Amino acid sequence: MASFKELIQSPDVPVLVDFYADWCGPCQMMNPVIEQVAKDLSGQVKIIKVNVDKNQAAAAKYGIRGIPAFILFQNGEIRWRHNGGIDGNQLKQVLLQHSSPVQ
């Protein structure tokens, strides 16, 4: 599996990182939202999930203090971040603003 740094360097599409934990109720509530957004924006954005309990270094590096937390990367640079739950339509709008049309 590619390293976290390699995953967020994607030159083709923005990468949304969902920082979560298995024990987190709000994270579990976001799962179907994230799955639907991933399906709706397939090919326009890459979504990866990072378990903060298993990837403490990545969580610490990006200052994750509460979950769920979302960070959108483009070419390895942070373009947007959000802590807490978010409506699927709002999330799609943010992602669409940062994605280029599929050719």
Amino acid at 20: Y
Active site residue 11: no
Contacts of 62 (CB under 8 A, 6+ apart): 19, 71, 78
Of the residues 8, 13, 27, 41, only one is catalytic, namely 27
How many residues in total does the chain contain? 103
Helix (H) or strand (E) holding 20: strand 15-20
Cβ atoms of 46 and 64 within 8 Å: the answer is no
Active site residue 24: yes
Of the residues 4, 9, 21, 24, only one is catalytic, namely 24
Reading the block at residue 68, the tokens are 């769920």
Cβ atoms of 41 and 91 within 8 Å: the answer is no
What are the catalytic residues? 24, 27
